[in-house]
Structure 1
Amino acid sequence: MTTQYDALLLLSFGGPEGPDDVIPFLENVTRGRGIPRERLEAVGEHYFLFGGVSPINQQCRDLKAAIEADFKEHSMDLPVYWGNRNWTPYLADTVRQMKEDGVRRAAAFVTSAYSGYSTSDQYVEDLARARAEVPDAPEIDKLPVYCRRAGFLAPFADATRTALAGAPQGTHLVFTAHSVPLAQPRRELYVAELEEAAATVADEAAPGTPWALVYQSRSGPPSQPWLEPDVCDHLETLHGAGVRSVVTVPIGFVSDHMEVKYDLDVEAAAKAGELGMQFVRVTTPGTDPRFAALARELVTEAQTSGERA
């Protein structure tokens, strides 16, 4: 069975682009979860350290341009649209524009590489919700997860290899991903995919180097169990075992957005500094040409096989 697409939708999380956007954005993200206002204001301070601007929207603009360039180079004549779950350009507005432009069926490339509820299923729900807001909306198929694909993993392996080349002997690799509640649907598959991705990168970049998968960015109440250990707790454990140098690999993320820039570059780096540990954080795939090409590869395969999320 074949499926023909007439557009690609780049689908992402969204983020504030100025100080006045921060609290409304966080309200969008946490709507229906009963998060106290003081908690939103505390998280908002992370953004204010960066002028109230999340890096993610510009990263999506840059990735969109990289995908368009790859499409042009390989004669793939598909327009690329961009929509967000939690901030402008809102997904429903993008779907509305796609309909006005005559798009009938599109593939969605999500800036999340893994299976699981918050990393995959929730995007499918968001697509359904956005389409329901637009009469006669185009069909939109979420492309499959790509956590095993070379276009995602090879940039991590190269960046990790480079970081380790300048690190002292005895350096440990610390792979990080966004924590989720233990009760979240498909959490086990999410963890299994993360472990496989981390093992692949470690084996390609530095066979034999000690490594661990840890978590970051938890946001739930203390009474709710989430995936552990936290990256900062793990740094303390390593320090207690005599480790004095770490290379941190944000394997759970596709770009250097706020969870990377604050939770790792600020919080985790500060913890390492307190412990007297050398701390290096490798870059995410971002706009690496291999990652941009992954969108084209997935679209081509989906058009041939009809496979979708």
Structure 2
Amino acid sequence: MAYDAFVLLSFGGPEKPDDVMPFLRNVVRGRGIPDERLAEVAEHYMHFGGVSPINQQNRDLLTAVRAEFSNNGVGLPTYWGNRNWHPMLEDTVAQMRDDGVTHALGFATSAYGGYSSCKQYWEDIANARAKVGPGAPVISKLRQFWDHPGFVEPHADAVRDALATLDQSRRATTRLVFTAHSIPVSMAKTAGPTGGRYEAQLHETARLVAGNDDWDLVWQSRSGPPQVPWLEPDINDHLESLAEKGVTDVVVSPIGFVSDHLEVIWDLDNEAADTAKRLGLGYARAATPGTDPRFVDMVRELVQERTDRAPMQRLGTLPVWDDCPVPCCPPPQRRGA
């Protein structure tokens, strides 16, 4: 199949204080959540001047990908469109149509399966194409990459670097803790051909990054009504538990994320770091891949799997698809605030 463009698909984030509330309304649209509740989340962004780092991180990634494509003979023009903030995907799709693009490859900045991390990007594509109307290019999403060497190896090196900053005399009482975005239990436990893959893929990534089974996988960034069960334990609760067991130091590795965006720097560099300090725990947070050359190289390799039928680079054993089976990853049940 012929492809004639590449588009980076991401979440989006505010870039000035006046963007914050409109952005958050986009994130929760259709859920009936009042501005009073959004204002609490808005304070996290205001702590950083009303700017999320994610858009600049995507600009940096796209710049690196363009150079990687140019250096390796991948002749695809590159675009970028977001789910929740400018550049919005529908505007990008309109520009692609005007530029004569007919069939693009889409790379989503999420490594795992699940509704928000995968299927919702398919919905974003469909909605954007519907809004653009006749002539909107087809966009085929590239596969998930939780076990690709270009994702695993930067995380593994970051864990080693973080561990080296802690007191080596307490190595025997240091614990490695992986984190990912929590999701409703009802989404995590869905039946069918893709059921439970979010947790399973994260466990496989953790094992590959650590090189052993001596670690914990916990959760962060929970949202939604308190009466709805989400994956637990939360990172802060888990730190409490580790301190009670005699752990003296922790390395926290956010393997659920590809870059140090706001949920990483707020939930881990602020809240979890403060919890560790209160408990007297040594604390080091491992970096995310960002624009690590191996991660950028991975993007190019995923493209060439489709364009040149290049061999699939994988370290794990769980099944992976280009097009997910149907039915797949139902959305969460929406409830009012």
Q: Check conservation: 1:269, 1:279, Cα contact below 8 A.
A: yes
Question: Could you tell me the TM-score, scaled by structure 2's length?
Answer: 0.88
Matched, 1:83 2:81: yes
Matched, 1:126 2:124: yes
* Structure 1 ranges of 4+ moved more than 6 A: none
Q: Check conservation: 1:6, 1:105, Cα contact below 8 A.
A: yes
Match of 2:99?
101
Which deviations, in whole Å up to 9, do the C-alpha atoms of 1:54-89 show, x marking residues without a partner?
Answer: 000000000000100100111111111000000000
Alignment of 1:134-149 (within 5 A): 134=132, 135-149=134-148
Unaligned 5+ residue runs, structure 2?
311-320, 324-337
Q: Check conservation: 2:177, 2:250, Cα contact below 8 A.
A: yes
Matched, 1:193 2:201: yes
Which deviations, in whole Å up to 9, do the C-alpha atoms of 1:20-57 show, x marking residues without a partner?
Answer: 00011000000111212211000000000000000000
Q: Give the Å deviation of 1:166.
A: 3.0
Alignment of 1:1-309 (within 5 A): 3-134=1-132, 135-167=134-166, 168=168, 169=171, 170-184=173-187, 185=190, 188-203=196-211, 207=212, 210-305=214-309, 308-309=322-323
Question: Could you tell me the TM-score, scaled by structure 1's length?
Answer: 0.95
Q: Check conservation: 1:179, 1:226, Cα contact below 8 A.
A: yes
> SS of the counterpart of 2:68?
helix
Rounded to whole Å, the distance in 2 between the matches of 1:77 and 1:305 is 16
Q: Give the Å deviation of 1:132.
A: 0.7
Question: Which stretch has the larger CA shift, 185-194 or 261-270?
Answer: 185-194
Rounded to whole Å, the distance in 1 between the matches of 2:72 and 2:309 is 20
Q: Give the Å deviation of 1:304.
A: 4.2
Read off the aligned partner of 2:216 and give its amino acid letter: A
Which deviations, in whole Å up to 9, do the C-alpha atoms of 1:81-139 show, x marking residues without a partner?
Answer: 00000000000000000111111110000000001111100000110000111121011
Q: Check conservation: 2:221, 2:263, Cα contact below 8 A.
A: yes
> SS of the counterpart of 1:108?
strand
Q: Check conservation: 2:165, 2:284, Cα contact below 8 A.
A: no
> SS of the counterpart of 2:85?
coil
> SS of the counterpart of 1:280?
strand
**Percent of residue pairs identical:** 58
Which deviations, in whole Å up to 9, do the C-alpha atoms of 1:187-240 show, x marking residues without a partner?
Answer: 61100000000011011xxx47x3100000000111000001000000000000
Q: Give the Å deviation of 1:302.
A: 1.5
Q: Give the Å deviation of 1:165.
A: 2.4
Paired residues in the alignment total 303
